[in-house]
Structure 1
């Protein structure tokens, strides 16, 4: 990893505001050719997961992709919270 990212311990990830579901989504997709999607539940992710999708090539971590996915997850959380409140 580059020096600009620094440490990526779970504490550091939490301190950066990365949602747990973001990390789960990212880890499930890294190393595959699938687009990294913002699944809202572990059940959805499990239903779509397959070991056959994992590439033999080394996985490449992208902090920018992780942060972009986190933004989508947070937007969906906010949207769903507003939907529940509106009912």
Structure 2
């Protein structure tokens, strides 16, 4: 996993079929967050639609019981875009 220089990995929280969750420290904002990495987002269209819906809903909804998307990291070059990495509130 390629990490930004502003992110320090604390521990692996879990792994699912296409998702990986890690506890990290955002050194820029000085807070603990959860990093979610989704691998090969363009492999299956059905997964793409679910991922798109999840990101859209999490960006719109505001509630104490719903995690908030803090940041979505994009690769420096669009041709390298195959994974989504997002920072979620802990």
Tell me the TM-score normalized by structure 1: 0.27
Report 1 or 2 for greater relative contact order, CA contacts < 8 Å, sequence distance ≥ 6.
Answer: 1
Task: Report the structure, 1 or 2, having the larger strand content.
Answer: 2
Q: What TM-score, normalized to structure 2?
A: 0.27
Q: Which has the higher helix share?
A: 1
Q: Which has the larger radius of gyration?
A: 1
